[in-house]
A = this chain, B = another copy of it.
């Protein structure tokens, strides 16, 4: 059994943690250890406040004038600039709109427009499904002669990356195991054969430093409601490198979701679409203001954070968790599915267990909230902004206690009727 006396060492780590004070920024429930911030971020007080202000003061108080007086119209670009800082993108290349899926459609179209004579989109078989689905949909629409998705096991990526590839489309952090691509290295390999890159940063943005400009990445998308904490279903972001914005400026098919908010002069109500210059043309419909304002509030916390510090703490939390589980009485049952070296992993640790579903549900019932990913993964998300070292210690102890007790075999945890 994990020795309870060891808890003091974890308390000591918390006492020295430079990020410890950030925990107060989060609206957490006492007694619950939330290890699913990689799926839905826990609410930040400032996000809840911004949402209330947007609804009660701006919508209610200013009504239609809030588009100007509260600068609602400027939200997508304003948020884009702030998220840009977190992913290594200079201003003017990131905006906030729609969902990752919808944004993928825009960016794959853009990549194909930049690559005449090439039609292949290369990805991994284990990519997050929506990335593959959107490419499949576009391929069905355009026909395989214009857009062809090729998926390979990740160990075959290097050999599949050749001069037929228009676009290498990868998710930086695998949603199941957390295994992380070296973004700069893979981008350079793609460029070496004339391919462009589209990075899905769903599990990267706000979790650790990303350097898109430095890597000369081409396109990226990412999520507002995971590590960035904007709230359930808030819009996604997208990144287009400045050099491509310039090259694609004239071409309508390069962003075929040509809605009125992407027009150069939307309030002139002219019937002929003329794309806005720069990143603004990636907007489509009316921005989801309430959600954007919640995300804006959440980003206030990130302004005070150095993501290098977050990464340092994450590495320590991750090592501690693995070491605790592997030194526990349940080490033989819970097999590490994530890279052992923290540097090769995103902000999560996954373990295989034959009863992972029931285990996950039983843990939730005891206040340890991770999640299950089919077929056999217990996924533990690490959010260094609010997680304490003692939380990791307590979680490991309770996982050990639960599995040794067999309480997860209670029939109420058996049926997988849940959707997420």
Binding site for B on A (CB under 8 A): 27, 29, 34, 36, 39-40, 42-43, 48, 51-52, 54-56, 59-61, 63-68, 72-73, 98-102, 105, 109, 125-130, 132-134, 136-138, 140-142, 151, 175-176, 225, 231-236, 252-253, 255-263, 266-273, 284-292, 294, 364, 369, 371, 373-374, 418-420
Contacts and interface: CB of A to CB of B under 8 A. Distances in A.
Contact of A267 (B98, B140, B374): B374
Contacts of A271: 125-127, 129, 132, 151
A49 B162 CA distance: 55
A36 B51 contact: no
Given A55-B231, A63-B369, A259 B102 contact: yes
A418 B61 CA distance: 18
Contact of A100 (B43, B252, B285): B285
B133 A263 contact: yes
A290 B43 contact: no
Contacts of A42: 60, 63
Contacts of A73: 419-420
B288 A129 contact: no
A111 B69 CA distance: 40
Nearest to A259: B101
Contact of A289 (B136, B138, B232): B232
B285 A136 contact: no
A253 B232 CA distance: 29
Contacts of A140: 252-253, 256, 258
Given A40-B64, A65-B369, 17 more contacts: A27-B60, A29-B61, A42-B63, A43-B60, A55-B231, A73-B420, A100-B285, A102-B285, A129-B270, A132-B272, A137-B258, A231-B289, A233-B290, A267-B419, A269-B373, A290-B290, A290-B291
A26 B163 CA distance: 61
A268 B374 contact: yes
Chain B CB within 10 Å — which of A109, A141, A272, A373 has the most? A141
Given A36-B63, A99-B285, A102-B284, A273 B132 contact: yes
Given A60-B43, A271-B127, A290-B294, A260 B66 contact: no
Chain B CB within 10 Å — which of A56, A59, A127, A371 has the most? A59
